[in-house]
């Protein structure tokens, strides 16, 4: 039984790390498996000001580093590996990874979701240097600057409204003939003096040396190309991409109950339809995906794992 973990957490974002802190502190044999960098997508966030207690230039990396240290302090183990297959229906669950196979009494799924990309060159290069996927995280960094929003759906318009509080101007670049959002949200958007809407366009090129200072778009009806350049005094423009999210739950299709968008359904205790299996954070069906809500999910799941095992 020494080779069987009490809980394996798949994913090491804020939710997974919070679950690791709570489970390891409860003396549960805890393993956190991560295929990429420990800390998850929060590592891409330059500044964090809306997480309680985050002051003095807190960054995603600095917050993740402290959470990882807490996990290690309480005895949680970390392994970098890619999960290839899982068996969840038995009392002892099996996690098959690229480099090894692990046994556990319970599983907490914290695989998150990822933003759909624009699929243009240099997109990764400008991440954190003008390009962002989170208005709440980074909007304040573009105060009194011109920002652009890629997307024409509900989330893109809502985020544009939020960005209009900081930016001197927000330009929505939508591929649609008209905005794909509720009439109420569209009305609120059009009431804003500093929001402009450009329909039927697609971003085809990102420009800049060290930071993003230019965006080239193509009109999808006329094929005419246009170039938006940062003001000379600004030197940088903001580009917020909201062209959709993709849940990281393909591994669990056919095993767990998913909603119509592919997110894992749970109850308020983070329990899935399989005993001993929990889902937390951005991969879970929920309304708000933030660091604080992921940490909340992780704590609840770990406490319920302890009850389940006992």
By the 8 A CB rule, do 114 and 250 touch?
Answer: no
Domain end (from 206, 241, 276): 241
Dist CA 293 CA 287 (whole Å): 10
Pairing of strands 101-104, 93-97: antiparallel
Average pLDDT for 275-286: 95
Residue 124 in domain:
no
Residue 126 in domain:
no
DSSP 3-state of 66? helix
Q: Are residues 106 and 177 in the same domain?
A: no
Residue 125 in domain:
no
Q: Are residues 224 and 261 in the same domain?
A: no
Instruction: Please name the helix (run of DSSP H) or strand (run of DSSP E) that holds residue 300, with its range, or none.
Output: helix 291-309
Residue 122 in domain:
no
Please state the domain count of the chain: 2
pLDDT over 90 at 288, yes or no: no
Strands lying side by side in the sheet with 93-97: 4-5, 101-104, 93-97, 83-87
Between 29 and 181, residue with greater pLDDT: 29
Dist CA 239 CA 127 (whole Å): 9
Q: Which range of residues forms the domain containing residue 178?
A: 131-241
Q: Are residues 149 and 222 in the same domain?
A: yes
By CB atoms closer than 10 A (0-12, 13-18, 19+), residue 27 is exposed
Q: Are residues 141 and 289 in the same domain?
A: no
Q: Are residues 15 and 157 in the same domain?
A: no
Tokens of 256: 């767990």
Average pLDDT for 149-178: 93
Q: Are residues 194 and 254 in the same domain?
A: no
Average pLDDT for 103-119: 93
Residue 34 in domain:
yes
Residue 291 in domain:
yes
Q: Are residues 235 and 249 in the same domain?
A: no
Domain end (from 241, 264, 285): 241
Domain end (from 193, 223, 241): 241
Lowest mean pLDDT, pick from 43-52, 102-111, 138-147, 166-175 = 43-52
Lowest mean pLDDT, pick from 35-44, 181-190, 214-223, 238-247 = 35-44
Find the CATH number of the domain harbouring 233. 3.50.50.60
Residue 123 in domain:
no
Confidence at residue 256, expressed as pLDDT on a 0 to 100 scale: 96
Dist CA 112 CA 273 (whole Å): 18
Dist CA 112 CA 13 (whole Å): 8
Average pLDDT for 25-32: 97
Q: How many residues does the chain have?
A: 310
Q: Are residues 38 and 179 in the same domain?
A: no
Q: Are residues 288 and 214 in the same domain?
A: no
Q: Are residues 154 and 79 in the same domain?
A: no
Q: Are residues 77 and 165 in the same domain?
A: no
Average pLDDT for 66-79: 96
Residue 100 in domain:
yes
Confidence at residue 60, expressed as pLDDT on a 0 to 100 scale: 80
Q: Are residues 237 and 298 in the same domain?
A: no
């Amino acid at each position: 039984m020494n080779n069987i973990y009490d809980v394996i957490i798949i994913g090491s974002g804020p939710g997974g790390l919070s679950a690791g802190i709570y489970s390891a502190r409860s003396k549960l044999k805890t393993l956190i498996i991560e295929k990429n960098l420990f800390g998850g997508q929060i590592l891409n966030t330059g500044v964090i000001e809306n997480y309680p207690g985050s002051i003095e230039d807190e960054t995603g990396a600095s917050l993740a580093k402290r959470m990882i240290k807490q996990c290690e302090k309480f005895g949680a183990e970390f392994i970098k590996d890619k999960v290839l297959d899982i068996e969840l229906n038995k009392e002892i669950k099996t996690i098959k990874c690229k480099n090894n196979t692990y046994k556990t009494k319970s599983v907490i799924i914290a695989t998150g979701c990822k933003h759909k990309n624009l699929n243009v060159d240099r997109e990764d290069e400008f991440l954190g240097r003008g390009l962002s996927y989170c208005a709440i995280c980074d909007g304040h960094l573009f105060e009194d600057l011109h920002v652009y929003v890629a997307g024409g759906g509900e989330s893109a318009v809502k985020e544009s409204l939020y960005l209009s509080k900081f930016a001197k101007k927000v330009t929505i670049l939508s591929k649609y003939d008209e905005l794909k959002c509720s009439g109420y949200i569209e009305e609120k958007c059009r009431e804003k003096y500093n929001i402009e809407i450009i329909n039927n366009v697609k971003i085809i090129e990102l420009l800049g040396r060290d930071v993003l200072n230019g965006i080239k778009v193509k009109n999808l009806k006329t094929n005419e190309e246009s170039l938006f350049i940062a003001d000379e005094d600004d030197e940088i423009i903001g580009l917020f991409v909201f062209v959709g999210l993709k849940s990281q739950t393909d591994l669990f299709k056919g095993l767990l109950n998913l909603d119509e968008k592919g997110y894992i359904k749970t109850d308020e205790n983070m329990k899935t339809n399989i005993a001993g299996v929990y889902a937390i954070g951005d991969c879970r069906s929920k309304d708000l995906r933030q660091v604080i809500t992921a940490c909340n999910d992780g704590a609840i799941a770990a406490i319920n794992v302890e009850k389940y095992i006992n």
